[in-house]
Amino acid sequence: MRQTFLRFNSEPTELLCLFGILSCCLMNSASAAIVPLVPGTLGQSFPDVTVSVISISYDADTDLLHAGIVSGGLLTIDQDGVLPSPDHTIFNSTFDLFATIDGAGVASAGTLSLSGNYDGLGGPVVSLASNTLTGFGYDPSIGVFSFLFDNTTGTVPGFGPLIGINLAGNFPLLNPGGFASDFSNVGPLGGLGTADVFTPVVPEPSSMIVWLTCSTLAGLAGWRRARRRHEATQKSTRRTTC
């Protein structure tokens, strides 16, 4: 049986073209998806905003999860992880997180907003806001949700476009097993969820490109070795036949 192998007439140029196509496809597909997260595995750096007294509710009919600070809740900031802490307090606090999550636990969209007066009831107003949810995960064994937001804008000192959030539900009875039905932490012993809003430690885009480059070039190198072995075998076969 005759086998047909892909052949490049101008290897360097066409290999670069192939690499460019692979890079664009992989980067575009990665940017469009909301990646699954395992709560507790997202690297956490500073600053870290602690949000206390959060109500959490999920409506299975609309697939909408909402976490919001209740009356009496407070936002505090640990700027560097060094005691004493907190370093700052945000008064007149607001915190709202909305996420669209289907019955299988797959997120498709989300928004984040928090604001308040920095270090005093009459202090300057600071805020963070994002409409770009890029990562989500939930662990029913501990009742913790994890979120990753990008393209964040705001004026809370020390934060950039990437925001990580670990949200502990502190559910009054049992942690929800998933998203097949409604749930809430509001009740006689509920409404006491807490959240950490922090700068996540994730690979920079340049690191992702380096990884992609190495992986693609390694694959191409393997393909070229296989092709050369095939050509050598073909030549040997022709000599034997002759």
Write out pLDDT tens, residues 35-50.
999 998 888 999 999 9
Residues with pLDDT less than 50, the chain: 1-19, 21-31, 206-212, 214-216, 218-219, 222-223
Rounded Cα distance between 56 and 184, Å, is 5
Residue 75 maps to a domain: yes
pTM of the model: 0.72
Rounded Cα distance between 136 and 89, Å, is 27
Q: How many CB atoms lie within 10 A of CB 9?
A: 6
Instruction: Give the pair of three-digit tokens for residue 16.
Output: 């670069």
Rounded Cα distance between 40 and 38, Å, is 6
* pLDDT, position 172: 85
Cβ distance 136 to 34 under 8 Å? Answer: yes
Residue 68 maps to a domain: yes
Which residues are registered as beta bridge partners of 193? 54
Structural domain span for residue 102: 35-201
Number of domains in the chain: 1
The alpha helices in the chain, defined as continuous H runs, are: 11-32, 205-241
Residue 212 maps to a domain: no
* pLDDT, position 31: 46
Rounded Cα distance between 152 and 168, Å, is 22
* pLDDT, position 224: 60
Establish whether the linkage from the previous residue to 39 is cis, with ω within 30° of 0: no
Rounded Cα distance between 14 and 130, Å, is 40
* pLDDT, position 135: 97
Residue 21 maps to a domain: no
Q: Tens of pLDDT along 114-149?
A: 999 999 999 999 999 999 999 999 999 999 999 999
Closest by Cα among 186, 201, 185 to 144:
185
Cβ distance 53 to 192 under 8 Å? Answer: yes
Residue 229 maps to a domain: no
Rounded Cα distance between 59 and 195, Å, is 20
Residue 115 maps to a domain: yes
